[in-house]
Amino acid sequence: MSGHRTTEAGSHDQRTWDHRWGFADTQFIVHPDGAVELTGDRYPLCGYRMYDFVPYVEEVLGIRLDLRDIKPERTPKPIPPPVRNEPFLAELSGSLREDQFSTGDRERLIHSHGQTTTDEVYRVLYEQLDRYADLVIYPESEADVVRGVELAARHHVCLVPFGGGTSVSCALSLPGNETRMIAVVDLRRMNRIEWIDRENLRACVQAGIRGMDLEEALRREGYTCGHEPDSIELSTLGGWIATNASGMKKNRYGNIEQIVEKVRLVTPAGVVEHLQSLPRVSMGIQPQCLAFGSEGNLGLITSAVIKIFPKPEVTRYGSLVFPSMEHGIRFLHELAHTGFVPASIRLVDNIQFRFGLALKAHTEGMAAFLDRLKKFFVTRIKGFDPDQMVAATIVMEGSRDEVEYQQENLYRLAGRFHGLAAGAEAGRRGYMLTYAIAYIRDFVAQYHIIGETFETSVPWSQIDRVCRAVQEKAAEQHRAFKLPGKFYVSYRITQIYHTGVCIYFMYGLYTKGVDRPAEVFGRIEHSLREVILANGGSISHHHGVGKLRKDFMGATLSPAAVELVRQIKQAVDPDNVFGIRNNIFAG
Ligand SMILES: Cc1cc2nc3c(=O)[nH]c(=O)nc-3n(C[C@H](O)[C@H](O)[C@H](O)COP(=O)(O)OP(=O)(O)OC[C@H]3O[C@@H](n4cnc5c(N)ncnc54)[C@H](O)[C@@H]3O)c2cc1C
């Protein structure tokens, strides 16, 4: 299948799938006996047979899967010839080396989408996109970027910043009505740490560095950045800033806006930046804040000064089980207002908890016996109902004393809400499972199952209302569209704050026999977002708006605020060189 071809981005040597998620050595496969396996050895979930995977999917979706019935991928891909702006190309080739730009079909296709399930990945694999990149540029320095922006402005070329391509908000979907040549600017060759300031604990880093490479390089020097989104393997520093990203360890290190001290944004009007890097400053309106959440609309982020932290002495996983979601949420609420909040804590509902179990190795003999014993303890002795119980996974990080203090207090507090310690290994597996989610999405897609994740932030008081509203709406829509089987909705709480939480939903549908499945899926997802906002949730907690959530900006910003953002765009980019049209600029 052509979707199984792989590419090397910039100078990175870790090959990735062209259009699907992740690394080329990793994919879910199914064995003739029905067992599912994750290939390679990248994750703890790799290399063993999961016999409960397919039965779990069948149970939650109320279907029987025919594993021979694979949705055929569209090949060859329908890529039209590029729009060519010859004067621009002529000047560009005088400024860059030949290997710094490409009009090849493969490069163009890879840079024409992000990872949004239906509107991007599904359409690349099975249908077609509205618009394809005409050119891909690989700058290697800020001077290359400045020159590219200047040429694009002069020759009326549209530029689109591209980081890791992991956007899940259609922020990288190219506007179908763009008639200018679209040049996608892939920043991943700008991937160096320029300097480390050990005394003040900060580093200046080029924006195209991938999270994993940043973390590895810092760890070699004895530091960490602490920003760990689930996409850390492929997303970049510039992308994090442009989307207002959030990492799982934000309790200890902060969200991206707390980690970045200073940022450089190259716009057609010049470089927007603050001239000093300081811990905090009271200086009036802070123009560099415009880079956060800019979603490619204003310019190219080329570098940032970020906080760095000494590598933690100890990283310790943990896990807890609770009799119900309500118990777990009450525990989180109490925990959020204590002094022993761990770097990360996530609470998964019963459906996701059981999914975790379904991905375990098939157990036999003594291991099966021990598993049964554990189950007996949890379900009988403590009176937990296996269909209600939920789990929390925990990462504690810091000095040994700090971690001991957190662990002791956290488990004691959990006891007040009938929480039971479930071991470090379950915690570690829970986090590793996160890395497998998008591989699972791509695996099940070939069996006509469309799945997507979406997130929101809500005040503590609205958690229950929002979750119930999503369930009810999903059920109503399932009936209205007369869809086969059952809908899949599960959720987890991934971040806790003083005033509320981030809820991360997973939604799935079996679409065999459904007319225009991607469109149906999109409409239902839109209606779920509507009820989230109607019940007090936000447009997004960290995925951003892109084009997917553009319809909800009216419920997010006042008209005067929208106009202000328009004027800012007008000031820095009057000719709309950065014409990706996300957020309020989306059509
Ligand atoms: C499996 C998976 C897990 C995820 N987990 C998380 C998570 O835990 N937390 C989270 O916050 N997000 C998560 N995401 C979403 C995504 O990874 C983030 O939005 C990420 O910040 C995007 O970074 P990127 O480098 O891939 O940017 P891209 O996807 O390449 O681009 C995203 C947007 O930013 C713009 N952009 C990119 N680089 C620059 C730059 N240098 N200058 C200006 N604009 C730029 C693009 O034009 C586009 O509008 C996840 C996505 C997937 C697929």
pLDDT for the residue 383: 80
In the chain, how long is the greatest CA-to-CA distance? 77
Could you give the residue ranges of the DSSP H alpha helices within 381-423? 400-416
Ligand 1 midpoint to CA 331 (Å)? 31
Give the chain's end-to-end CA distance (angstroms, integer): 34
Q: Whose CA is nearest to atom 7 of ligand 1?
A: 229
Centre of ligand 1 to C-alpha 292, Å, is 12
CA distances to 2, 4, 458 from 12, rounded to whole Å, are 22, 19, 38
In testing the pocket of ligand 1, which one of 141, 191, 243 has its CB within 8 Å of the most ligand atoms? 243
pLDDT at residue 370 above 60?
no
pLDDT of residue 361: 79
- Provide the sign of the torsion angle of the four alpha carbons 397, 400, 401, 403, taken in this order: positive
Output the pLDDT for position 368: 61
- Which residue among 111, 115, 144, 162 is best mutated to probe the pocket of ligand 1, counting the most ligand atoms within 8 A of its Cβ? 162
The string over 351-389, giving b where at least 16 C-beta atoms fall within 10 Å of a residue's C-beta and e elsewhere, is bbbbbbebbbeeeeeeeeeeeeeeeeebeeeeebeeeeb
Q: Which atom of ligand 1 is nearest to the CA of 438?
A: 1
Residue 151 tokens read as 């040429």
Please give the pLDDT value at position 7. 45
Average pLDDT over residues 342-367: 83
Whether residue 384 is predicted with pLDDT greater than 90 in this model: the reply is no
504 is catalytic: yes
Cα(267) to centroid(ligand 1), Å: 20
Residue of 187, 230, 235, 265 to mutate, ligand 1, most atoms within 8 A of C-beta? 235
Q: For residues 206 and 191, is the Cβ–Cβ distance under 8 A?
A: yes
Ramachandran region, residue 551 (left: φ > 0; alpha: ψ -120 to 50; beta: rest):
alpha
Is the confidence at residue 538, as pLDDT, over 50? yes
Look up tokens 């079996």; give the residue.
510
Alpha helices per DSSP H over 268-364 = 325-336, 350-358
Which residues partner with 17 through β-bridges? Answer: 6
Binned at pLDDT 50, 70 and 90, residue 1 comes out as: very low
Instruction: Identify which of 489, 551, 487 has the alpha carbon closest to the alpha carbon of residue 514.
Output: 487
Ligand 1 pocket mutation pick from 116, 149, 159, 166 by most atoms within 8 angstroms of CB: 166
**178 Cβ contact list (under 8 Å, min separation 6):** 131, 158, 579
Compute the distance between CA of residue 116 and CA of residue 525 in angstroms, rounded to an integer: 12
> pTM above 0.75?
yes
> Token pair for residue 534?
């109607």
Split at pLDDT 50, 70, 90, the class of 487 is very high
Residue 331: both structure tokens together? 């525990």
Question: Residue 9: which pLDDT band, with cuts at 50, 70 and 90?
Answer: very low
Give the pLDDT of residue 272: 98
Q: Is 567 helix (H, G, I), strand (E, B) or coil?
A: helix
Task: Pick the atom of ligand 1 nearest to 162's CA.
Answer: 30
Nearest CA to ligand 1 atom 44: 296
| Rounded distance from Cα 453 to ligand 1 centre (Å) | 14
Q: Is 411 helix (H, G, I), strand (E, B) or coil?
A: helix
Ligand 1 centroid to residue 205 C-alpha, Å: 17
Backbone CA torsion sign across 198, 204, 206, 208 = positive
Are 11 and 189 contacting, i.e. CB atoms less than 8 angstroms apart?
A: yes
> How much distance in Å is there from the Cα of 542 to the middle of ligand 1?
9
Q: Whose CA is nearest to atom 22 of ligand 1?
A: 239
Query: With pLDDT > 70 as the criterion, what percentage of the chain qualifies?
Result: 95
Cα of 20 vs its chain's centroid, Å? 14
Average pLDDT over residues 152-161: 98
- Whether the bond between 32 and the residue before it is cis, its omega within 30 degrees of 0, is no
Q: How far is the CA of 89 from the centre of ligand 1 (A)?
A: 28
Distance (Å, whole) CA 144 – CA 159: 13
Nearest to 489 by CA among 469, 474, 511: 474
> CA 134 → CA 92, 103, 116, 429, distances in Å?
14, 6, 21, 42
Q: Please state, in angstroms and rounded to a whole number, the distance separating the CA atoms of residues 175 and 153.
A: 18
DSSP secondary structure, 516-547, as one string = SHHHHHHHHHHHHHHHHHHTT--S-SSS--TT
Please tell me the predicted confidence (pLDDT) of residue 378: 72
Q: Which long-range contacts (CB under 8 A, 24 or more apart) does 24-30 make?
A: 26/439, 27/439, 27/442, 27/443, 28/439, 28/440, 28/442, 28/443, 30/54, 30/67
Beta strands in 247-364 (DSSP E): 260-267, 270-272, 300-307, 309-310, 314-322, 344-348
* Lowest mean pLDDT, pick from 14-28, 51-65, 174-188, 350-364: 350-364
Q: Whose C-alpha lies nearest to ligand 1, atom 11?
A: 245
Please, are residues 126 and 146 in contact by the beta-carbon 8 Å criterion?
Answer: no
Round to whole Å and give the CA distance between 317 and 339: 18
Using 50, 70 and 90 to split pLDDT, how confident is the model at 379? Answer: confident
H/E element holding 154? helix 142-155
Compute, in angstroms, the gap from residue 454 CA to the centroid of ligand 1: 14
Query: How remote is the CA of residue 564 from the centroid of ligand 1, in Å?
Result: 25
Which has the higher per-residue pLDDT, 358 or 266? 266
- Pocket of ligand 1 from Cβ distances under 6 Å: 21, 114-115, 160-168, 171-172, 187, 207, 229-231, 235-236, 238-240, 242-243, 245-246, 295-296, 300-301, 437-438, 542-544, 580, 582
Ligand 1 closest atom vs CA 236 = 25
For residue 301, the ligand 1 atom closest to its alpha carbon is: 42
Rounded mean pLDDT, 523-528:
97
pLDDT reading at 377 higher than 80: no
Q: Which atom of ligand 1 is nearest to the CA of 242?
A: 34
| Best CA proximity match to 109, nearest among 36, 165, 66, 25 | 165
Give the nearest ligand 1 atom to 294 CA. Answer: 44
For residue 260, with 0-12 CB atoms within 10 Å meaning exposed, 13-18 middle and 19 or more buried, which class applies? buried
Polymer length in residues for the chain:
587
Q: 181 falls in which pLDDT band (50, 70, 90)? A: very high
Residue with CA closest to ligand 1 atom 18? 167
Q: Which of 132, 223, 504, 507 is catalytic?
A: 504
Quote the CA–CA distance of 209 and 217 in Å, as a whole number. Answer: 10
- Among protein residues, the one with the nearest Cα to ligand 1's atom 14 is 231
Beta bridge partners of 489: 507
Dist CA 581 CA 587 (whole Å): 7
Pocket test for ligand 1, best of 42, 167, 237 (most atoms within 8 A of CB): 167
Question: What are the tens digits of pLDDT across the range 432-458?
Answer: 888 999 999 999 999 999 999 999 999
Higher local confidence (pLDDT), 372 or 102: 102
Q: Which atom of ligand 1 is nearest to the CA of 435?
A: 1
User: Ligand 1: which residue has its CA nearest to atom 2?
Assistant: 231
Across the range 551-558, mean pLDDT stands at 97
Tokens of 444: 């099940």
Ligand 1, residue 437: give the atom nearest the CA.
1
Ligand 1 centroid to Cα of residue 296, in Å, is 11
